[in-house]
Amino acid sequence: MPKIIAENCVACGSCADVCPNGAITVEDIAVIDSSKCSNCGACVDECSSDAIVND
């Protein structure tokens, strides 16, 4: 499952926009709901600040 690197997250929301399962919410930082995540990697590919990595 993807993991958020909090210190890199700028809360831009692009990861939430591309998540096909609606598993990501963004407030101060992005948060991934593991019960909804299908581990597709779309958020990892989309994140321009390298704040999401595959764990």
Share of the chain above pLDDT 70, in %: 100
Q: Where are the domains of the chain?
A: 2-54
Tokens standing for 11?
Answer: 């809360």
- Domain 2-54 belongs to what architecture? 2-Layer Sandwich (3.30)
Tokens standing for 54?
Answer: 């595959």
User: What is the Cα–Cα distance from 49 to 22, expressed in whole angstroms?
Assistant: 20
pTM: 0.93
Residue 29 has a pLDDT of 98
Res 19 pLDDT > 90:
yes
User: What value does the mean pLDDT take over residues 13-39?
Assistant: 98
Burial level of 24, CB count in 10 A (0-12/13-18/19+)?
buried
pLDDT, tens only, 2-18: 999 999 999 999 999 99
Residue 55 has a pLDDT of 82
User: What is the Cα–Cα distance from 1 to 27, expressed in whole angstroms?
Assistant: 20
Residue 3 has a pLDDT of 97
